Structure 1
Amino acid sequence: MSTEISSTPTATGLLIRPSTEADLSAIQAIYQHAVLHGTGTFETEAPDVAEMARRRGEVLGRGLPYLVAESQGRILGYAYANYFRPRLAYRFCLEDSIYLHPDSQGLGIGKLMLAELIARCEALGARQMLAVIGDSQNRGSIGVHRALGFEDTGILKSSGWKFGRWLDVVLMQRQLGQGDGNSPEAPKP
């Protein structure tokens, strides 16, 4: 799998493009806010820019997309896909992650980013995408995933403890491309 180096402008002037090293400070700031103020991630201490660079490098090293949404030179959010689990049998099953700047939430940017991420992962030959959503009250993320064809597959009840309360994890899944309709390793005609 490899990531195509193109950008996708939207009708609203929003540019969804592959991330660069220059985006890392903005990415880290967005994630730091999510860690310190949100329940979409169960991390409790925000990683620094160097750690975010390491994580991004791991995703890109696997040939997977790591995107940003940009408007007028400002990073509004980021999204990436990574292996659901490291074992070889999971290589066609990816997990998505999307984080938006607080001022950019509820504007449809997350949906545009997820649609682009799905398209890029399908082009890479991935067959399933999972959403592992922190907090069953995270209606925005759950709604965006449902709108793009994800189905509920389960809830891990009270599996995280953050901000003095138990949090559920919502599991959702969407078929990509031909899904499980045939072998992903079948010879191409």
Structure 2
Amino acid sequence: MSDSVFLDQLILRECDETDIPAITAIYRHAVLNGCATFEIAPPSEAEMKVRRRLMVAANYPYLVAESEGRVVAYAYANSYHQRPAYSKTVENSIYVRDGMQGRGVGHRLLTALIDAATARGFRQMVAVIGDSANIGSIRLHEKLGFSLIGSLRAVGWKHDRWLDTVLMQLPLGAGDAEPG
């Protein structure tokens, strides 16, 4: 199946609890094999269910991309920081099933997440990208209008090496052009 046909058949929707096993498997692979997340031990399905419930209860968007009845990616926006002054700023996370990267799934899903966060009244989205060598994620965010804010050098230790985080930011809706 060509990538354009695949993308035409891709279903983007709100995540529900029945998606948690697939999400847990996607994240488990990312934790064990990648550097996008600085978690070291993969969380259980029960933990992932709790995390989802807290985000949904707080009105943060949590989306999945589904192909042929199977979750192939997920993305959510969550609190950037807990202090009240940050209440209009969210941090995004996006994970694509191993073997599905580079087909446009991330672009479609992150676009939908940006739209959902904007519709909920958030004003800024921050990407905290694990590993400055994560060129795919950096380019995806650039394509969708995120600006490079900076890097934190050697702040994480995983897979026997020091890792950077790359900070990128996108204004949502009115951004800072009017009061929150």
TM-score (norm 2): 0.95
| Residue in 2 that maps onto 1:119 | 115
| Residue in 1 that maps onto 2:35 | 39
The one-letter amino acid of 1:66's match is: Y
Q: Alignment RMSD, CA only?
A: 1.0
Post-superposition shift, 1:11? 5.6
Q: Aligned match of 1:153 in 149, 152, 160? A: 149
Residue 67 in structure 1 maps to residue 50 in structure 2: no
| Residue in 2 that maps onto 1:13 | 9
Residue 101 in structure 1 maps to residue 136 in structure 2: no
- Corresponding residue SS for 1:104: coil
| Residue in 1 that maps onto 2:44 | 48
Q: How far apart in 1 are the matches of 2:162 and 2:169?
A: 23
The one-letter amino acid of 1:124's match is: R
Residue 76 in structure 1 maps to residue 50 in structure 2: no
- Unaligned runs of 5+ residues in structure 2 are 1-5
Post-superposition shift, 1:103? 1.6
- Corresponding residue SS for 1:55: helix
Post-superposition shift, 1:35? 0.2
Kindly provide the CA deviation profile for residues 39-79 of structure 1, in whole angstroms up to 9, marking residues without a partner as x.
Answer: 00000100000000011111101111110000110100100
- How many correspondences in the alignment? 175
- Percent identity, aligned pairs only, is 50
Question: Where has structure 1 moved over 3 Å in runs of 4 or more?
Answer: none
Asked if structure 1 preserves the Cα contact closer than 8 Å seen for 2:88 and 2:123, the reply is yes
Q: How far apart in 1 are the matches of 2:130 and 2:105?
A: 19
Residue 27 in structure 1 maps to residue 23 in structure 2: yes
- Corresponding residue SS for 2:99: helix
